[in-house]
Amino acid sequence: MELELSSACRRALDFAFHLAFEEGILEPEAKHCISALLFDPEGPVTNLLKDFGLQESRIVSAKANNNIEAGFSVFESAKKPYISSKILRISKKILAEQEGTSLGFLVYLIEDFKNTQLILESMGVNWEQLINWVDNQRMAPLVLDVPLDLDAHTEIDSCLRILDAAANRVREGLRVVDDYCRFILNSSQLCTITKKLRHDFNETLQWIPATLIISHRNVEEDVGTSIHTNQELTRLNDEDVFKANIKRVQESLRSLEEFGKLESPDFSVAIGEIRYRSYDLEQRIFRFLDYSGKLKDIKIYGLLGPEHLDPGFMDTLDALFENGLDMVQLRIKNAPDSKLLDYAFELKTLTAQNGKLLIINDRPDIAKIVDADGLHLGQDDLPLKEAKLIIGRNKILGISTHNEDQILKSIENGADYIGVGPVFNSKTKTFNNLAGLDFVQAANTVCTIPWFAIGGIDTQNITQLAKHGVKRIAVSNALFNSENPLKTLKVLKQALANS
């Protein structure tokens, strides 16, 4: 079913994507969407926000608006239909509109973007009054495209029984998945995504009154309650429990989506959106299982510079791989691309032969070309989401962090591992701002994915780190410039084993 937006709303959405792409971002943020909505100086959003204190200086003139819009390009994005469906659903459910409107776009921003409040308040908008306005709109009666006939024939009764049973299966399955993410995987990121999915599903169910559905529940005459299979009654491990329940959720959502069409096409569209999000959640959890497994036993992460890559050193590196070095990063800042590519291909061959992992620093293009196992980024490098589009969702993605907020944001954005530091100054590099041991302790508390302490780590201070709970380290010169790299590797591994 085509998602219908008003011309003004569609123009604002297209313009928001344009503003995002101008900054090299694939998906518009709240600031882009608000700017796009305010480019109509006489539009409903502008007039509404003016009632709540919007400063006149924030409103672009109609002439400027026309000049800008005349030259902007419309970009197609896989994310645009998802946002359109959210706007359409909010416009119909909350504002009782027949199509997606600019005001529905605004309410979508209020509900889905945490920083919308900060942006609008900086423009003079009274947030409390705006929220009160939204709440007042919620009190309007729900308008369905296909009105419910409570006196309809028994097919409607049967349909409502199906909706009730399917909705219960979704709720129950999502609760099991939530518990799995929380207590088995210990992943705050996955737990947050699952809880949001549960919340949005329960909100979507409000399109059809709960009392109506429950009143048609008939457990006594349900022929399926006593039918079970051996496979259904058997679970080999906790991962089996997750797999069974996420599939249960998806199948039940499909049933809700299909039979929901008989009650309300809008309800069916909204359920379809939830179903696709459940596929994304499943992929994220399997990715977590895959890379948490790959990174789980890695203790020493070697950082290779150009000084370590002469032909003679490759034999040493091969010996280190045989003795417990499991992952290396190619970190070269100023070499010509052709030389960097040669190094990367050589390392890829060596790591693949030894069953080890190769990470490329800063360069997603090089990582993609040589089929490296992953990419490592700094705080000022390409955003994680955009990097994944280049290297692929099945690759490891790591990022350097220097404070607790960066850790939490990196986890939220999908990092597979985190570099924590710099902990110490090194013999070759002095840092203006050391993260230090306090940051190491904080990482031990808040980080729910594998993390590596980095910066000046050697055989002299490794015991101190181990006492602070460090289980993984990233090292460069202390290992590769050592007089006896194999002995150094053994000392470092032994210290971490005792932590």
pLDDT digits (tens, 9 = 90+) for 293-332: 789 889 999 999 988 888 888 999 999 999 999 999 999 9
Pairing, β 417-420 against β 473-475: unpaired
Most confident of 70-74, 149-153, 250-254, 260-264: 250-254
| HSE value, Cβ hemisphere, 13 Å, CA-based, for 155 | 6
Q: How far apart are CA 113 and CA 107, in angstroms?
A: 10
More confident residue, 56 or 65: 56
Tell me what pLDDT residue 82 has: 77
Say yes or no: do domains 7-138 and 297-497 share a fold.
no
- Whole-prediction pTM: 0.59
pLDDT of residue 96: 84
Show contacts of 317-320: CB within 8 Å, 24+ apart: 317/350, 318/350, 318/354, 319/485, 319/486, 320/479, 320/485, 320/486, 320/489
What pLDDT does residue 62 have? Answer: 36
H/E segment holding residue 453 = strand 451-454
> Got the DSSP string for 311-341?
HHHHHHHHHHHHTT--EEEE--SSS-HHHHH
**Distance separating alpha carbons of residues 126 and 325, to the nearest angstrom:** 57
The H or E element spanning position 130 is helix 127-138
3-state SS, 236-305, equals CCHHHHHHHHHHHHHHHHHHHHHHHCCCCHHHHHHHHHHHHHHHHHHHHHHHHHHHHHHHHCCCEEEEEC
The model's pLDDT over 356-403, given as tens digits with 9 standing for 90+, comes to: 999 999 999 999 999 999 999 999 999 998 999 999 988 999 999 999
Is residue 106 pLDDT above 70, yes or no?
yes
Higher model confidence: residue 152 or residue 368? 368
pLDDT-derived band of residue 448, with 50, 70 and 90 as boundaries? confident
pLDDT at 178 over 70: yes
The residue extents of the domains of the chain are 7-138, 154-291, 297-497
Token pair 């293009």: residue: 365
Euclidean distance between the first and the last CA atom of the chain, given in angstroms as a whole number: 58
Out of 1.10.287.90, 3.10.50.40, 3.20.20.70, 3.40.190.10, the CATH code matching 297-497 is 3.20.20.70
Query: In this model, does residue 237 exceed pLDDT 60?
Result: yes
Compute the chain's Rg from CA coordinates.
27
As a whole number of angstroms, the distance between CA 478 and CA 305 comes to: 13
Q: Mean pLDDT score of the chain, rounded to an integer?
A: 87
**What residue type is 358 in one-letter code?**
L
**Of the CATH numbers 3.40.50, 1.10.3470, 1.10.10, 1.10.1780, which one belongs to the domain with range 7-138?**
1.10.1780
The CA distance from 399 to 211, in Å, is 49
Phi, psi values for residue 336, rounded to 5°:
-60, 150
For residues 64 and 123, the model is more confident at 123
More confident residue, 302 or 97: 302
Amino acid of residue 174: L
